[in-house]
């Protein structure tokens, strides 16, 4: 056996996948429709990144600073509403903000609002998170829940969100 192939493999360059920084400025006056079913919490979600690459993704860090506001005259929304927001690879469907709904940026409290306007709140990913996106191309959602007593039962309200989201991730490879 010659020394060529084993020697070449031993001295091969490692493949390095790039770390992708993504800075999102949420478009001015982006809206989320939050709906309360019965007397339950109001639930809303907005897709902020339409497609992530397919593969095993590690989110290395996220820092979000977002402010939320009603229109100032919505009879279905309390002037002093409270809620929570999170960012994840799934949209919230049950008002719990758990699992894939919070895997990009954890849930943080919003409010109390003043005249339907809640000040900007930061959410920071504390430790890297691995997400399996090998089955399909995924998305990233901004999830917002509003406390049950703050939305009229069975009604929807439109909340405007402004701010920035910085995400740092790396694709580790696909199956």
Pick the residue with more confidence: 147 or 49? 147
pLDDT at 16: 63
pLDDT digits (tens, 9 = 90+) for 104-123: 999 999 999 999 999 999 99
pLDDT class of 28 with cuts at 50, 70, 90: low
Q: What is the pTM of this model?
A: 0.86
**Residue found by looking up tokens 């031993």 in the block:** 10
């Amino acid at each position: 056996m010659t020394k060529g192939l084993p020697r070449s493999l031993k001295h091969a360059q490692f493949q390095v996948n790039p770390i992708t920084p993504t800075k999102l400025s949420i478009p001015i006056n982006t809206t989320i429709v939050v709906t309360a079913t019965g007397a339950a919490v109001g639930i809303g979600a907005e897709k902020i990144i339409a497609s992530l690459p397919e593969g095993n993704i590690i989110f290395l860090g996220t820092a979000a600073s977002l402010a939320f506001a009603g229109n100032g005259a919505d009879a279905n929304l309390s002037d002093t509403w409270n809620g929570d927001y999170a960012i994840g690879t799934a949209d919230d469907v049950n008002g719990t903000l758990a699992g894939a709904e919070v895997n990009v940026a954890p849930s943080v409290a919003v409010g109390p609002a003043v005249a339907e306007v809640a000040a900007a709140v930061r959410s920071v990913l504390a430790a890297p998170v691995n997400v399996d996106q090998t089955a399909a191309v995924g998305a990233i959602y901004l999830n917002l829940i509003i406390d049950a007593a703050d939305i009229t039962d069975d009604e929807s309200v439109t909340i405007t969100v402004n701010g920035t989201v910085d995400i740092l991730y790396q694709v580790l490879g696909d199956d």
